[in-house]
Amino acid sequence: MSRVSIPGYKMGSPELKRYPISDKEFEELKKSVMITDEDVKYLAMAGDVLRDQINDVLDLWYGWVGSNPHLLYYFTDKNTNAPIKDYLEAVRKRFGQWILDLCYRGFDRTWLDYQLEIGLRHHRSKKNRTDNVNSVDHIPLRYVVAFIYPISATIKPFLGKKGHRPDEVERMFQAWFKAVVLSVALWSYPYAREGDW
């Protein structure tokens, strides 16, 4: 995949920290979530289906976040409690790229290292620094984990819009679901005490 120009998107940047697990441990984690080579194939198929629907997917997800004040809160200014429009828009662009990366990267080391960066950006370690905003300092892990369901369940109708057979849609969906669970497991690293993750 070619490098895209999205503010704050740093996939493959040499300044990123290396995810502190070995390739063997990463393979074991993928096995634990039952990701196979076939899933990688169906994720790429999902990417082909989703690539021209990304704005619609993001409209749905952002509409849902925006309709839940307890979630929108994490995009608000600490002083005024008003949503920070530029912050929401910057995260939206990276979120769209995240969809493509999840589908097409194939879980290589570059992708793995960037998952640490995503986790840090949700955690007090780095939240707000990428976009230099005065927002809430930390997103609790409970909401990161809870997002597994909406980010998974809402994708299935989009996967069914390009005329694939029901069994193909189901395989794309299962691959997506596994990939989202893997992502959140990786994002949780900054939230764990040393030695607990």
Q: The domain spanning residue 131 has which CATH number?
A: 1.10.490.10
Domain containing 131: what range? Answer: 39-191
Q: Is the pLDDT of residue 1 over 50?
A: no
* pLDDT at site 102: 98
How many C-beta neighbours within 10 Å does residue 140 have?
12
* pLDDT at site 164: 98
Buried residues in 149-178 as b, exposed as e (16+ CB within 10 A): eebbeebeebbbeeebeeebbebbbbbbbb
- Packing angle, helices 85-104 and 166-187, rounded to 10: 120
* pLDDT at site 2: 42
Arithmetic mean of pLDDT, 138-163: 98
Q: What is the pLDDT of residues 38-63, one digit of tens each?
A: 999 999 999 999 999 999 999 999 99
Whether residue 181 lies inside any domain: the answer is yes
Q: Is the pLDDT of residue 185 over 70?
A: yes
Is the Cα dihedral 63, 171, 122, 185 positive or negative? positive
* pLDDT at site 5: 85
Whether residue 60 lies inside any domain: the answer is yes
Q: Mean pLDDT for the chain?
A: 96
Whether residue 157 lies inside any domain: the answer is yes
Q: Is the pLDDT of residue 4 over 70?
A: no
The total of structural domains in the chain comes to 1
Arithmetic mean of pLDDT, 173-185: 98
Arithmetic mean of pLDDT, 94-117: 97
* pLDDT at site 183: 98
Arithmetic mean of pLDDT, 78-107: 97
Whether residue 7 lies inside any domain: the answer is no
Q: Is the entire prediction scored with pTM above 0.85?
A: yes
Whether residue 2 lies inside any domain: the answer is no
